[in-house]
Structure 1
Amino acid sequence: MTENAVTENAVTENAVTEPVARLRTLRSVALRTPDAKRAAEFYDGVWGLDPVEEDGDVTWLRGTGPEHHILEVREADRNGLGKIAFSVATPREVDEAARRLTGLGVPLVAEPGRLDQAGGGYGLRFTDPENRLIELSADVEAVTPRDPGGQDAVPRKLAHVVLNTVDIDAACAFYTTVLGMRISDWSEHQMAFLRCNADHHVIAFNQAEWASVNHVAYEMPSVDHFMRGIGRLRHEGITPLWGPGRHGPGNNTFSYFADPAGLVCEYTSDVAQVDEDTWLCRVWRRVPELSDLWGTAGPPSKDVRRHMAGVPDPGGWWER
């Protein structure tokens, strides 16, 4: 039996009375790729992020907000997910999360302690049932918000990451019961949109043949910034794979592109805000008029779906 199967069974057999922590935000995502240098240059020179640190084959990049970095790009032998980092309020919550994870039989990849990485902080790491590396952290260095007037058409924060999964029900069960996330909406039984704060979703799962990164989305301050960002990329000779348009679930604008490594990145804005007291989760039909409310993008092409399928990602890179 694999370690992730052990983790899944352990969580199932141990009653989860409350989540291991209260997640505040989606802090950052790390991507692994054989084209890390070219990818970092794209996210810096074209996409609109700013490098904050570089160490050999790793680059950390920020948006215009106060988060130290929202993207880490690391050299690897294949495209894949490095990790997903969520913020919690205090180091004490990190320690409590470790105790609860251990009680659930979820092995820790890194015990609570100072994080030896760009931005520092205090945190821990563990894996989900499909061997994705998850980090919970507090006290990470902040940076001064850039362009407080919001004139530049560049991302301010990480909006969400969509993950392909071979078992959408198991993925949702883990992220809701263990991490306390809430399901905002379903797209039939093909996609689930999960939140940890008022944003409609910070994680979404897509039922697929293998586990992989589907895409990473970056939030623009407004629809105007969103459209001007698309225009800037067009001037660079880069056209959308799909979009612009507006999704039904989440009501957010979308325009998808491929970075030099073939990983899919998205500009988005106007993400729906959830009132916990009144929001009702609904199941959306998977029809073109709901995948794009504007009707400007049409359905995703086979090329878009191929890019979003990615390559099989078994995780476990930290053990190699």
Structure 2
Amino acid sequence: MTDPASYRPRPTRLGHLVLKVRDIDRSLAFYTEVMGLEVSDWIDHQMVFLRAGHDHHDLALLQLPPGHSDAPEGHYPAVEHFSYRLETLEELEKVAAMLTARGVPIDRGIGKHGPGANSFLVFRDPDGNNVEFYTDMTQIDADHPYAPSVWDGKQMATFDRWNLERFLVPPPARIQALLDKEGEA
């Protein structure tokens, strides 16, 4: 058996970027009206998924919590994560084993998002940036039309359609809070 730490991923392209924004409506207007992107889906009024091509999203905007003011000149909102596409879930699982064997911190996953229906694995680079590998993004084109919808951010299926069954690490605090509420009901 091969050492999992020696596995080398084969990403096929840069996938998508998630930006944290101070005013989601202002940013949405910019990216739709100035950049020409199309809306694919929303999670509540906190996150919007946008596309330039056939992928469900190549950019997502994530609303920062209240209290974030305009950034000083030269300072910009943070990147939540950027992603690279892998071809199969099997490869994603091999990458997860490699990351674990190398002691690379996994942030969330393996899971399957609601919006976009892509499987995901998010981990940290040496500087603490979130990097994601994903597979199986919903494709939208003339042969595969799609109507945007609003996903409920308080539903587990919005975050992970697999209900954390394949997660390798504890869920993020906001997802744990959902689980705790469900347990109280």
* Band the TM-score falls in, shorter-chain normalisation: 0.7 to 0.9
Asked if 1:284 corresponds to 2:156, the answer is no
**In 2, Cα distance between the equivalents of 1:267 and 1:205?**
18
Instruction: Specify the alignment match of 2:11 in structure 1.
Output: 155
| 272-281 vs 181-190, which moves further | 272-281
**In 2, Cα distance between the equivalents of 1:263 and 1:184?**
26
Instruction: Specify the alignment match of 1:114 in structure 2.
Output: none
Mapped contact 1:184–1:281 kept (Cα < 8 A): yes
Instruction: Specify the alignment match of 2:39 in structure 1.
Output: 183
Mapped contact 1:160–1:202 kept (Cα < 8 A): yes
Q: Which runs of 4+ in 1 moved over 3 A?
A: none
- CA deviation after TM superposition for structure 1 residue 301, in Å: 2.8
Asked if 1:301 corresponds to 2:173, the answer is yes
Structure 2 CA distance for partners of 1:158 and 1:206, relative to 1, 3 Å: same
The one-letter amino acid of 1:184's match is S
Q: Looking at CA atoms only, which structure, 1 or 2, has the larger radius of gyration?
A: 1
**In 1, Cα distance between the equivalents of 2:147 and 2:45?**
17
- CA deviation after TM superposition for structure 1 residue 289, in Å: 2.8
Higher RCO (CA < 8 A, seq sep 6+): 2
- CA deviation after TM superposition for structure 1 residue 169, in Å: 0.8
Instruction: Specify the alignment match of 2:124 in structure 1.
Output: 258
| Alignment map for 1:108-257 (pairs within 5 Å) | 153-209=9-65, 210=68, 211-257=77-123
**In 2, Cα distance between the equivalents of 1:273 and 1:299?**
27
Mapped contact 1:220–1:268 kept (Cα < 8 A): yes
Calculate the aligned-residue CA RMSD, in Å.
1.9
Mapped contact 2:105–2:124 kept (Cα < 8 A): no
Q: TM-score, normalised by structure 1?
A: 0.45
**In 1, Cα distance between the equivalents of 2:127 and 2:9?**
23
2:79 partner SS: strand
- CA deviation after TM superposition for structure 1 residue 299, in Å: 4.3
Mapped contact 2:51–2:59 kept (Cα < 8 A): yes
Mapped contact 1:291–1:299 kept (Cα < 8 A): no
The one-letter amino acid of 1:280's match is A
2:106 partner SS: coil
1:158 partner SS: strand
2:97 partner SS: helix
| 277-286 vs 293-302, which moves further | 293-302
Instruction: Specify the alignment match of 1:108 in structure 2.
Output: none
Paired residues, number: 153
**In 2, Cα distance between the equivalents of 1:278 and 1:232?**
37
**In 2, Cα distance between the equivalents of 1:250 and 1:290?**
10
Report Cα offsets for 1:78-129 as digits up to 9, x if no partner: xxxxxxxxxxxxxxxxxxxxxxxxxxxxxxxxxxxxxxxxxxxxxxxxxxxx
- CA deviation after TM superposition for structure 1 residue 239, in Å: 4.1
What runs of 5+ residues in structure 1 fail to find an aligned partner? 1-45, 49-151, 303-320
Q: TM-score, normalised by structure 2?
A: 0.76
Instruction: Specify the alignment match of 2:182 in structure 1.
Output: none
- CA deviation after TM superposition for structure 1 residue 260, in Å: 1.2
**In 2, Cα distance between the equivalents of 1:274 and 1:293?**
20
The percent identity for this pair of structures is 36
Report Cα offsets for 1:146-201 as digits up to 9, x if no partner: xxxxxx63211111000000011111111111111000000110100000000000
